[in-house]
Amino acid sequence: MKSIAALKNRVTPWSDELEPSAAELDAIDVEMPLILASVDLLDAQIMTIDRTPTEVDERRIRRARNRVLAARRDLANRTAGTTGAGDAA
């Protein structure tokens, strides 16, 4: 009987490509403000799932939503202002 460990290399061989590339890490760094703002919005929304939102909760959600919109705007403006390789200057 063959062991599962012996078959593991055939099914999922190890590859150096499993780690993110430098370009992918840079893209994550660029999008990090939007990611964090989205997490804050989700946290604010999750806190009000099982109860009626108070005025403070509504303010917290509104501010978090505004931070998400501002982060999206900044990201869109940042990427719209850059030109890729082969693009007209």
Q: pLDDT tens string for the chain (89 positions)?
A: 555 555 555 556 666 678 888 999 999 999 999 999 999 999 999 999 999 999 999 999 999 999 999 999 999 998 777 655 555 55
61-70 burial: b if 16+ Cβ within 10 Å, else e: beebeebbee
In angstroms, the CA 5 to CA 10 distance is 10
- Answer for the pair 57, 47: CB distance below 8 angstroms, yes or no: yes
Kindly report the pTM of this predicted structure: 0.68
